[in-house]
Structure 1
Amino acid sequence: MKALRRQTLAKAIQLSLLLTLPGLVAAQEATPATSDTKTLDTIQVTGTRIKKAEIESQTPVQTLSRADIEKTGLTSIGDIVQELTGSGSALNTKFNSSGNFGFSPNGDGVGAGSAQVDLRNLGPKRVLVLVDGMRWVNESSASGVGAATDLNTIPLALVERIEILEDGASSLYGSDAIAGVVNIITRRNFEGGQISLNLGEYGEGDGTLTGVDLGWGKNGENSNFFVGASYVEQKKIESRTREQSRFPIPGTGLTFGSSATPDGRFVITDPNTGQTLSLAPNAGDSDPTYDPSQTGCARTDSYHCFTTADRFAFSEFNLLLTPSKRMGVFGQFRYFFNDNLQGYVKALVNRRESTNQAAPEPIFLGADAGTGNPFADNITISALNPYNPFGFDLVSVDDPNTPQNETTLVLLARRPVEGGPRRFEQKVDTQYIGAGIEGSFGNGWSWDANISSSRNEAEQTNYGSYNIFNIALALGDPAICAATPGCVPLNLFGGRGSITPDMLAWIQPIVRDRSEQKLHQVTANISGDLFDMWAGPLSFAAGYEYRKYEGSYTPDPINYVGNPPVNHYNGVPSLPTSGEYDVNEAYVEFNVPLMRDGAFGKSLDLSLAGRYSDYSTFGGQFTPKYGLRWQVADEFLLRATYAEGFRAPSIGELFGSASRADLQIDDPCLIGLDGSPATGNAANCAALGVPVGAEQTNAQISVTTGGNPDLDPETAKSFTAGMVFSPGFANDVSWSDRLDLELTFYKHEIEGAVQAIDAQTQLNLCVQTLDPTYCNGITRSSVGGINSFNNRLVNLGTIRTDGWDADVFWTLPESSIGQFKVSWQNTFVTKYEAIGAAGQVQPRTVGVEVTDSAIPEWTSNTSIDWKHGPWTAGWTMRHISELEEQCGDAAAFPVCSNPAEGTNTLEAITYHDLQVGYKFDWLKGLQLTAGANNIFDKDPPICLSCSLNGYDASTYDIPGGRYFYVRADLRF
């Protein structure tokens, strides 16, 4: 951080050099611009602040028009953008996240119900989302303080087009634009009314979607306005309705089911015999008896030895598609004072209601519980508890007061189905208001000043979790429980149905969490031509921006009862987060014409930009950008950009308090869930306190995460180079109206990336090396299982990625059978590597499935569109290349395609979508559209390493199967 401050003066000098560039260039002026230079309409595109049509193709910008959006049949901006070939893994409504993923290390919670966008696989927090060029407030889902934008807070009905810049743009837009920019342009010049009705459903008859959009606009002599309302409701799809998602890992039965079962699992050490037993009660035995003389598995009492057949298939309680409702009202009004001055005001109110669901919450107690909560890990279950069948105290820690001074309770794992599944219901309210004035000087100069305020406020209500403090009290001394108002002794021993409503009333609270994000901003911009040079005018843009961020997360008080705070929550615990910061920024951009109609081509332009940002949290940062645009001929363009960028740590990353994530981790020191031997170095495991023969009882390990106030900003370098070729021989000929070929190479490098080392990688390195760098923060119980795992944010190291975009756009001539358009867009990722500060290589790379996400080597979208009179049709093919993952303990099953190497291949898949439409000449037009996505009914490939349902919900169409939809659009 100090180093950054020392660089402030040097960076300021760089900015001043950019500001003096016009004078330096003027000294070299040789020939005035020709008098027949055409004056084009003023235009601003994403990727430049200069409002000039000639430089529209200076950077690679992909534009989705309103027609492109409607062709997808989708109703969420997030779902639409995630289908782009350059998009990576990001949250969407197919992630049933609450209660399963816990809290991510970056302090932003799970983002339940939100839809985000990832460009170039660099993460949603490195993509800047704008609406009409102004920043949109970050997401809020009542589980943390997020660093990304929830696109479900922006109704699709207000969108005119979406511009996607897949290039570093910090010099133009500031922090967060490392991977690119998504600029959502709203509808403005609209005359008349519009009603759109949407209805969709999966072939299985579930996942029904209904939507209604209303719009009205009017263009007057001195004003225009547009108002609209939107309602979208998505019904749920349950995991149990699809064969592939009924078990934790398809094709492995109950092997990877939970050891927390409705009847309970009891791993005890009998103090009378010293024998350690892993027992499960016999089915239907509601009042079990325990015979201490039976020390093996051939038992005649109420128990049998726990086996795979006793495990619990929790997946069937999950959701493949989470239900949600989105309701929004929005509008904007613009008044033209004269030809050179106009003002506007715009506002939006939006509500998102969504639900996640998980299996009934497990209760883990004992030395091997690994929850990190002392009420669970250090519990004593009294022998006097009327339901304790074992006849002795169940003590989870070595206690000198117990016989043989040893643990008697290794693990009690009970899944109280009596309390129902966990339901997490989110309500997210978004408000936005903005105003501004725009003007021109009549000589090509334009200016604008804008102010806006926005807020996301969320509440999440959790039904189905438990109070671990009350559980411990109800299992302890009955006299103490009797003296506590409301407490009744708890029966975790009698199997399903043994927990009565009175017991549930004592241990099962309703948990309410809240979060809020605010963004206030003021901007001012000016753009125009400074003077003529030998090759044309020197164009210029400059501006100032002020932003203030505020964020807070307030979990239910059950997470921090008393002073000092003590956690009473059995679910995924967290602590409050609160913070704010502000930033002042100034930028300047030049477009320098170097050549026009010369020996080396039609034109050559140099673009230069720089932005200085002053943050209240860490100080100053300067980011430059340089670009070349070479129009070799009318039909051939070459372009290249180099940019430096940065991303300031978010409120959650800086101030996020300790929270817990329950992650799927394979402990190399323990016997696997399938009985496979431990893979770790035996001597090192012994040094870590793992007894020989120790077993992993649960694949979910609780990992503590949290923010770091000493984080520095991430810094980045981005490079793109490419060409656009529109061959003249394919223009206005018998077989082609127009043909465009585009090729772009991209490269991004991020230094000091803010993230935590992958937890599985950290554990593996700890076991391999015993290095305190990895082992500090990982502790184990007396029986060898991990009982605490600390995994905090740091400026981790380096992320590098590069690849190619290759696109073909072909418009065929209109004929007696209509007109066809072909679009073929491809992204090839040639490199992705993340390296920790200590040199450790993270597992995420190209062609590999890991941590519920993937980076396919090749993604491709091909569209064939047809129009003939009132008829339209479209065929789209979406291709994802094959991936590889580690099978882990599933290597022993046929579902693992390459057991010898312990890897599984997720085969390449191509989805086919079809759409047909007809436009009636009624009023201003009635457009009826019917379509089907995934018409060949392809299921996503089985994912063995994914956390839930055997799917990667961010890469593939979930839940699989055909999706049918119809839409009616009436204009009047």
Structure 2
Amino acid sequence: MKQKTLLATAIAAALVLQTWSVAAQDAAPAQADQGSAKSLETVTVTGSRIRSVDVETSQPVFTMDKAAIQATGLTNVNDILARMPSAGTPDITPQDTLSSGADVGGRYVNIRNLGSQRTLVLVNGRRWSTSLSGLTDLSTIPVAMIERIDILKDGASSIYGSDAIGGVVNIITREKFDGAEANVYYGQNGKGDGETQNYDFTWGHSTEKNSIILGASYQNTDPMWNSERPETSYAQGPRHPTAGLGLGPYGRVVDPTTGDQYVYNHGSQTTTPGAPAGYHAYDSSSTADKYNTQKDMTFRAGTKLKNLYLQDRYKLTDNITLRAAASYSSRDTSSQLAGYPFQSGVADDPVLISGQNAYNPYPGQDVEFFRRTVEMPRITDTQSNLAHIDLGAEGYFQFLNHDWSWDAGFTYDANKIRIQGTGNIYLPHARAALGPTTTIDGQVACASAADRAQGCIPWNILAGPGATSQQLWNYLNYRSTDRQHSYTSDWSANVSGGLFDLPAGTVNLAVGVEHRGEKGNFRPDAADSAGLTTNLASAPTSGAYNTNEAYAELDVPLLRDLPGAQELGINIASRYSHYSNFGSTTNNKYSFRYRPFADLLVRGTWAQGFRAPTISDLYGGTGQSFETFLDPCDSKYGAAATNASVKARCTAAGVPANYRQVDQTGQQITSTNGGQTPVAFLSGSNPNLKPETSITRTLGLVYSPHYVEGLDFTVDYYNIYVKNIVSSVLAQDIVNYCYINNDQNFCNNFSRTATATSNLVAGSINSLNEGLSNLGTLKTEGYDVGIHYRLPETSFGRFRIASDSTYLTKYETVSGPGAVAKTPVGFMDGEDGLYRLRSNLQLDWDYKQFGASWTVRYYSGLKDSCYTATIECSSPEYTNPWWGTYGMSQKGSVAFNDAQFRYTAPWKGTFSVGVNNIFNKKGPYYYSVTTSGTGSSPYNPAFDIDRYWYVSYNQKF
């Protein structure tokens, strides 16, 4: 009740002050005391709405200015932010070739390893566009327009609302610019691939009243291919080229009588006794009939980015400025997967080779088959277009003998995404091509005249590459189109200024209101949704919600210039949010700053935070995916092998006593890592989701000794606890809750097959529904340490040393009730490297028209799963709840070195040349990475996987 009263009072005060300010300006436009307000400059303080230097320094904010950004030699905002030691692996990266959906191809940021959805991205203090999944694509923000980037590594929901749990990235664009500037950039990996070309042009003009800036940029990044490097050429790494091979391009047929499997002969192979003529027995332990899918896959997707940006500021009066900004970005991304692993499947209407098909080795009997369509790789082209408009006004006025500022604005985002895919098979055409045949003019033809009229050609699917004509591939190939639209409209108003003076300084207040509406839809391809293709099916998504919010922030200086208390102040903020879908939430933040003597600042915060469920979370359609899990009922590796209670529950569910789980190839699993299911599982949304909530605690020191000018030390401790996490109840969790925890509520989420099929044994799970729920918790804590020293100028130039590190002491996740706490600090956890220590050390030098920088990026060693219990396994006896019994392999630390040299010519042109990973350092290969794996740090293998060099030229006019 007190919180709501505080907010109501603050809002009323804001409205009264706004009315008084307008009246005062109308009544006395020429008053002399407006001079102080007139001279004020717009100041953006990340993490606070109060424009005060004291408040700004009390926040744990890491800032990268334009020079620091250019020194990285990177052209994407996400790549720049990924260099921060506090950054983790984003939810989706350009290397996630196996991922699907409208967000694939975008560039994201993840602070504190809390997920990209829990990192809020602002531009000039205002929210940027997010997708239906709550992700902000940083590629839509052109680097050329950026003045600086502030990263608040603290909870800030009391100021900004939802999503500000892991941190806030605030991108500040140029405000004034006179003249013109052009940049040309070219970079390439050491292997000669992954070329990056970047061109941008900026023009600006300022007068006494008006300032306009226009920018345009274009970037083209060529794809990188798994086949080009030994680190990515094989699914299990260069030391194990025969491991992880999948279904091959030579057809495998199932004997309808015995169930034995035979493969079409190729090379020097000969027919096996008992097999059809021209076939040999399939041996699952042999690699001869398998295929390395890595060689057909992109390692990093190719991307084209185009951005236009226009910004204008017009000084309407001495105290009122109108602002307008508009941008349009277009992103085209293309990725490729190997051909589809086509097989008869377990559907109610499976695809079979007809007994009346001329190419059936068992005439008269319908047969099941396996065959990868390597001649037709699966290609996904994604086009994303974002239009952004920002309109507003801001100004200053005098009230209570203090300066006050106000701003009001409206932003609108419209994001349209089109996903086009080729390489999947149109099942009605496949059935026709594998159906009965006849002979017409001595040629084998489809028996149905209607099918022939649509282009049907009989398919000899069991024959190898080269046996299928391009005309038939065109007939089988399906071109799908998915579309996603999302829209955000945001109205806001803020006012802040001084209330009254205390002996220690001015008490400042900031209040504001905001109304935001979110809506969107996803329309999948109709044939995919209907199950008419081999593409994963998904259902449409459509939904909307709105929120009304109000906040108040109060800053109180308590002591100043006293012995033992050069400064002491507190800051209190509270934000009330009402969502149309789940109701209301109030989040508070309390912080303090204390300076016992001039050189030392102590700062700390306690903050509540939240993340509202997204439109996709609430209203997303059902999708499909092939999940990897361990069935507890497996009689060798599952819990049933050692737990009598679990075994009894499995038996009661109708699971055979000696049941063995099979993987996607139909073979029995070989470890407690389980296997990828042969059938697609379903996943969906939940309209009853509640927001995630968090508590963030920070405590830090900033030491700037007066006797060493230019030297600063910072140490900040952070502790973040997130609960009610919105997450899929994954297949592994569902079966564990059912059989191990004996929670019958989860047993209804899946079913088992009673009889064996071509790729499932009796008792196998043949359907499972993964839904969303507010399950689980996450706790993380650690330290950020910074040392920055700008040395006194010497006859050799100016030197600057900067060291920034993050030391992770705790990262604990609990997936749900009764689940074992997972504490993977120092482990390669799926795709996330939870490094104990990440550190950057940079030396920068400037002398007249010359400059150079050297950067060392350090990642501490990680524990990884072993290849096997006896191969690449430093601790075979080591076990933990999420790996099983294969032990642990300790991988060493790695450091990457980057260098840049620059020269500014007399004609205002600057040449830069640089090399990232100058020593071509190769990082460890991690077997626990769930995607294709990399040979270096999980997040940015595009640069770290080998040496990357670049040249750039900047011309100012």
The answer (yes or no) to whether the contact 1:285–1:495 under 8 Å persists in 2 is no
| 2:694 is the alignment partner of 1:709 | no
Partners of 2:357 and 2:637 in 1: CA distance: 37
Which amino acid in structure 1 is aligned with residue 518 of structure 2?
Answer: Y
Q: Which residue of 2 aligns with 1:414?
A: 371
Q: Which residue of 1 aligns with 2:18?
A: none
| 2:79 is the alignment partner of 1:79 | yes
Partners of 1:650 and 1:17 in 2: CA distance: 31
Q: Which residue of 2 aligns with 1:34?
A: none
Tell me which of 588, 610, 621 is aligned to 2:574: 610
Partner deviation per Cα, 1:606-646 (whole Å, 9 max, x = no partner)? 10111111111111111111111112221100011111111
Partners of 1:692 and 1:584 in 2: CA distance: 55
Partner deviation per Cα, 1:571-600 (whole Å, 9 max, x = no partner)? 222111011111111111000111122243
Q: Which residue of 2 aligns with 1:125?
A: 117
| 2:184 is the alignment partner of 1:212 | no
TM-score with structure 2 setting the length:
0.87
Partner deviation per Cα, 1:485-542 (whole Å, 9 max, x = no partner)? 5244433222223333343233211111111111111111101001123432210101
Aligned alpha-carbon RMSD (Å): 2.7
| 2:702 is the alignment partner of 1:724 | yes
Q: Which residue of 2 aligns with 1:257?
A: 245
Partners of 1:492 and 1:362 in 2: CA distance: 12
Shift of 1:900: 4.7
Which amino acid in structure 1 is aligned with residue 470 of structure 2?
Answer: P
The answer (yes or no) to whether the contact 1:79–1:92 under 8 Å persists in 2 is no
The answer (yes or no) to whether the contact 1:285–1:302 under 8 Å persists in 2 is no
Q: Which residue of 1 aligns with 2:487?
A: 518
The answer (yes or no) to whether the contact 2:571–2:592 under 8 Å persists in 1 is yes
Shift of 1:666: 5.1
Shift of 1:380: 4.6
SS at match of 2:375: helix
Partners of 1:794 and 1:426 in 2: CA distance: 30
Partner deviation per Cα, 1:916-951 (whole Å, 9 max, x = no partner)? 1111121xx211111100011012321212233322
Change (3 A) 1:845 1:551: farther
Which amino acid in structure 1 is aligned with residue 904 of structure 2?
Answer: K
Tell me which of 520, 525, 548 is aligned to 2:517: 548
The answer (yes or no) to whether the contact 1:41–1:53 under 8 Å persists in 2 is no
Q: Please list, as runs of the form range in 1=range in 2, the aligned pairs for 1:157-172 lying within 5 A after superposition.
A: 157-172=144-159
| 2:764 is the alignment partner of 1:797 | no
The structure whose RCO (Cα within 8 Å, separation 6+) is larger is 1
Q: Which residue of 2 aligns with 1:567?
A: 531
SS at match of 1:539: strand
Partners of 2:660 and 2:627 in 1: CA distance: 23
Q: Please list, as runs of the form range in 1=range in 2, the aligned pairs for 1:832-847 lying within 5 A after superposition.
A: 832-841=811-820, 843=822, 845-847=824-826
Tell me which of 483, 498, 507 is aligned to 1:529: 498
Change (3 A) 1:230 1:93: farther
**Higher alpha-carbon deviation: 311-320 or 845-854:** 845-854
**Higher alpha-carbon deviation: 602-611 or 901-910:** 901-910
Change (3 A) 1:829 1:394: farther
Tell me which of 99, 102, 118 is aligned to 1:101: 99
| 2:842 is the alignment partner of 1:856 | no
| 2:230 is the alignment partner of 1:243 | yes
Which amino acid in structure 2 is aligned with residue 558 of structure 1?
Answer: A
Partners of 1:414 and 1:101 in 2: CA distance: 23
Change (3 A) 1:953 1:326: farther
Q: Please list, as runs of the form range in 1=range in 2, the aligned pairs for 1:550-949 lying within 5 A after superposition.
A: 550-560=519-529, 566-665=530-629, 678-682=637-641, 683=647, 689=655, 691-692=658-659, 695-698=662-665, 699-701=675-677, 702-731=680-709, 738-763=710-735, 768=740, 771-781=743-753, 782=756, 783-784=761-762, 785-841=764-820, 843=822, 845-887=824-866, 890-891=867-868, 894-901=871-878, 902=886, 903-922=888-907, 925-949=908-932
Which amino acid in structure 1 is aligned with residue 122 of structure 2?
Answer: L
Shift of 1:390: 2.5
Q: Which residue of 2 aligns with 1:403?
A: none
Partners of 1:703 and 1:822 in 2: CA distance: 52
Partner deviation per Cα, 1:883-905 (whole Å, 9 max, x = no partner)? 22334xx3157345544542233
| 2:261 is the alignment partner of 1:305 | no
| 2:354 is the alignment partner of 1:389 | no
Change (3 A) 1:498 1:787: farther
**Higher alpha-carbon deviation: 680-689 or 128-137:** 680-689
Shift of 1:10: 7.2
Shift of 1:422: 1.0
| 2:437 is the alignment partner of 1:459 | no
SS at match of 1:172: helix
Partner deviation per Cα, 1:30-72 (whole Å, 9 max, x = no partner)? xxxxxxx999976331010001223221210111100010000
**Higher alpha-carbon deviation: 894-903 or 626-635:** 894-903
Partners of 2:42 and 2:419 in 1: CA distance: 46
SS at match of 1:470: helix
Shift of 1:456: 1.2
The answer (yes or no) to whether the contact 1:664–1:947 under 8 Å persists in 2 is no
SS at match of 2:487: strand
Partners of 2:748 and 2:874 in 1: CA distance: 36
Q: Which residue of 2 aligns with 1:224?
A: 211
| 2:434 is the alignment partner of 1:475 | yes
5+ long unaligned stretches in structure 2: 15-35, 438-445, 642-646, 666-674, 879-885
Shift of 1:146: 2.2
The answer (yes or no) to whether the contact 2:182–2:956 under 8 Å persists in 1 is yes
Change (3 A) 1:240 1:380: closer
The answer (yes or no) to whether the contact 1:551–1:580 under 8 Å persists in 2 is yes
Partners of 1:265 and 1:761 in 2: CA distance: 34
Change (3 A) 1:730 1:346: same
| Number of residue pairs the alignment of both structures matches | 883
Partners of 1:312 and 1:764 in 2: CA distance: 33
The answer (yes or no) to whether the contact 2:7–2:550 under 8 Å persists in 1 is no
Which amino acid in structure 2 is aligned with residue 602 of structure 1?
Answer: Q
| 2:384 is the alignment partner of 1:423 | no
Q: Which residue of 2 aligns with 1:28?
A: none
Change (3 A) 1:802 1:256: same
Partners of 1:255 and 1:907 in 2: CA distance: 23
Q: Which residue of 1 aligns with 2:164?
A: 177
Q: Which residue of 1 aligns with 2:305?
A: 326
Q: Which residue of 2 aligns with 1:957?
A: 941
Shift of 1:810: 1.1
TM-score with structure 1 setting the length:
0.86
The answer (yes or no) to whether the contact 1:758–1:842 under 8 Å persists in 2 is no
Partners of 2:778 and 2:10 in 1: CA distance: 29
Shift of 1:668: 6.5
| 2:136 is the alignment partner of 1:116 | no
**Higher alpha-carbon deviation: 866-875 or 942-951:** 942-951
Partners of 2:476 and 2:42 in 1: CA distance: 66
SS at match of 1:465: strand
Q: Which residue of 1 aligns with 2:671?
A: none
Partners of 2:685 and 2:700 in 1: CA distance: 39
